[in-house]
Amino acid sequence: MNLMEYFRIPGISSKSLKVWQRNRDVFMKNIKLNFLPPFLEPLLYLLALGFGLGKFIENIDGVPYANFIAPALIAISVMYASFFECSYGSYVRMHYQKTFDAIIATPLSIEDVIAGELLWGATRSMINATVMIPVIGAFGLIDLHYALLIIPFAFLGGLLFAAVGMCFAAVTPNIMAINYPVLLFITPMFLFSGTFFPLSTLPELIQYFAIAFLPLAHIVSVIRMLSLGAPTSMIFFNLSWIIVVTGLLVVLSINMMKKRLIV
């Protein structure tokens, strides 16, 4: 497969929703356990960092530290939910459970299976954001009017990281190897995407690198503007970057996984 074939538009049908429904049904069987992490995670971070460490930090960009990191916690949850669902989760369903093989034996195509996985990964991000918003809102840390827009945006951001996770699942030789992109890509984004401190405090070269190559930087920026109820023209740049990169990565991830499954 040459380079252009990796970006060939895949043939996806509405049957991909069947894969989404299958994963949803599995999720619902353990719904109490699945809802617990996105509920507790913001509480722990807010208590330890926002209200603990935040007492020793001056306002950032005119807002208290707790208000500054609260949107980043939502963005981080969006990243983790979809990335791990479509890296570890998809790899387990593909390699160990043989779920992909079973589904492909039905009238669904390989493209439909992967598209359904990506949609479910994006949905997991949206679920996490939906659970976290009222928890953080209870502390008065976000503008609930604009914050409602975070829910549909979380699906878009989740789709981006679902595609990233699927790309790694398509090339990883074994499940332990997924630790490498987590260590070398996900963790640096967790730290250097304007999450716990502004990007402007970093060296200029790293700022440009984050804006050009780190998806979380754009997701944090959008969610922070919506959470604070103060969107600026920068939001259009962030959204444009996310939409373009998401489209490219979705196509790439489906073709990469198709190549792995066929071979």
Q: Is the pLDDT confidence value at 184 over 80?
A: yes
User: What pLDDT, on a 0 to 100 scale, did the predictor assign at position 135?
Assistant: 86
Exposure on the CB side of residue 33, measured as CA atoms within 13 A: 5
Q: Is the pLDDT confidence value at 46 over 90?
A: no
Residue with tokens 């459970």: 97
User: What pLDDT, on a 0 to 100 scale, did the predictor assign at position 243?
Assistant: 97
Max mean pLDDT range (24-33, 57-66, 251-260): 251-260
Amino acid (1-letter code) at residue 194: G
| 45-52 mean pLDDT | 81
Give DSSP secondary structure letters for the chain.
Answer: --HHHHTSPP---TTHHHHHHHHHHHHHHTHHHHHHHHHHHHHHHIIIIITTGGGGS--BTTB-HHHHHHHHHHHHHHHHHHHHIIIIIHHIIIIIS-HHHHHHTTT--HHHHHHHHHHHHHHHHHHHHHHHHHHHHTTT-S-HHHHTTHHHHHHHHHHHHHHHHHHHHHH-SSGGGGHHHIIIIIHHHHHSSSSSS-GGGS-HHHHHHHHHH-HHHHHHHHHHHHHTT---THHHHHHHHHHHHHHHHHHHHHHHHHHHHH-
Q: How far is CA 78 from the centre of its chain?
A: 4
Q: In 3D, which of 121, 118, 123 has the Cα closest to residue 253?
A: 118
Band of pLDDT at residue 137, cut at 50, 70 and 90: confident
Domain ranges of the chain: 14-262
User: What pLDDT, on a 0 to 100 scale, did the predictor assign at position 38?
Assistant: 73
Q: How far is CA 151 from the centre of its chain?
A: 12
Band of pLDDT at residue 263, cut at 50, 70 and 90: low
Please give the model's pTM, rounded to 2 decimal places.
Answer: 0.93
* Cβ 118 vs Cβ 86: under 8 Å: yes
Q: What is the mean pLDDT of the chain?
A: 90
Band of pLDDT at residue 147, cut at 50, 70 and 90: confident
* Cβ 131 vs Cβ 35: under 8 Å: yes
The residue that leads in pLDDT, 228 or 119, is: 119
User: What pLDDT, on a 0 to 100 scale, did the predictor assign at position 1?
Assistant: 57
User: What pLDDT, on a 0 to 100 scale, did the predictor assign at position 229?
Assistant: 86
Question: Torsions phi, psi of 238, nearest 5?
Answer: -60, -45
| 41-65 mean pLDDT | 82
